[in-house]
Amino acid sequence: MLWHHLVRPRLKRQLKDRGGIERVAEVRRTTPRIGFIGLGEVGLPMAKRVISHGYSMVVCSHVSREPVEEMKKLGAREVASPSAVAEISDVVITAVRDDSQSAEVILGPKSIMEGARQGLGIIMMSALSPQFCREVGRLAEAKGVGVLDAPVTGTKLKAATGELGIMVGGDRRLAEEYRPILETMGKVIYCGELGMGQIVKLASNMALMINVQAAFEAISWGIRNGADEELLVELMKLGTGNSWVVQNWEFVKSMNVEPPPATFYLAAKDLDYALRIAHEIGQPCPLAALCAERYIAGVLKLPERPGSPEPDRSSSGIARQLQTRR
């Protein structure tokens, strides 16, 4: 606020007096320009938080025009591709769906890496596999590009109020350099080397999804034996059966619909990432494996994405691939 109300107007006057009107743009650029790719349900409010804190922003075409238009009204500039975003940004944030979409945006044709120059920073805020994050880091290092993984925990409501939990992995100095940007969106916790943010995120999601299944099973058992649902849930909140799932039971229960919500895909995807790592390190995860099968069964009921040119990359197509790997 001090910059905008005191320092910047004074600098503008001084520059104008010296005939240096063109230099105002240089002063304005002392804060990094942020590229943001992935204006989805959580990504859009995250981007709004960043731009509301005075950062200039660049966005690119999206599957839906509405979020792009919203960001343009807030002052964001639209360009045609991720590579164009990278060319004119200092830091690019990605908040897309999974490894596949991230690979397309970061490494594919007209991607961030195509437009990247030395000194660019990439912050991957999706829930991704740690292996993918490390591979991006390896490829980026060769171009002098810094990379952090920074998946988030919290709902779209938390994103809108800047109260997400942000789990950061990567070079500590880079994490500290970009901390002010990340703190516009939530509480930042440094977790360790590149990919460690994803490990912490996946562990948290494993616990959540196992707890969802456990709570549904226990509450359904109580109801079938004559217990009043509202009374049962209230008493569970007071006892050792309490959890975030129980505390937010009405919201969690609203997700139990047919066909299931698209978030079932994200649950299945995250459990698949976690189980692949469990297999690599030789750790049995029977509860996570059981949950994965339940979520995959739900995802198989999802309709194909309208207009998808590659059905095998749709939610249900990926679920079939996961099921085949089992």
Q: Which range, of 93-102, 122-131, 165-174, 289-298, averages the lowest pLDDT? A: 289-298
Number of domains comprising the chain: 2
Q: What is the pLDDT of residue 310?
A: 38
Give residue-wise pLDDT tens across range 146-155. Answer: 999 999 999 8
Are residues 247 and 320 located together in one domain of the fold?
yes
In this structure, is residue 248 part of a structural domain? yes
Could you say which of 160, 193, 226 is where a domain stops? 193
Could you say which of 166, 193, 220 is where a domain stops? 193
CATH number, domain with residue 243: 1.10.1040.10
Give residue-wise pLDDT tens across range 41-59. Answer: 999 999 999 999 999 999 9
CB contact set of 178 (below 8 Å; sequence gap of 6+): 91, 121, 123, 148
Q: Which tokens in the block code for residue 193?
A: 């080397």
In this structure, is residue 12 part of a structural domain? no
Are residues 159 and 215 located together in one domain of the fold?
no
The whole domain housing 123 covers 31-193
Reply yes or no on whether 201 is catalytic. Answer: yes
In this structure, is residue 142 part of a structural domain? yes
Q: What is the pLDDT of residue 311?
A: 33
Catalytic site residue from 110, 158, 201, 269: 201
CA distances from 12 to 5, 32, 223, 242 (A): 12, 19, 68, 57
Are residues 142 and 247 located together in one domain of the fold?
no
Are residues 240 and 173 located together in one domain of the fold?
no
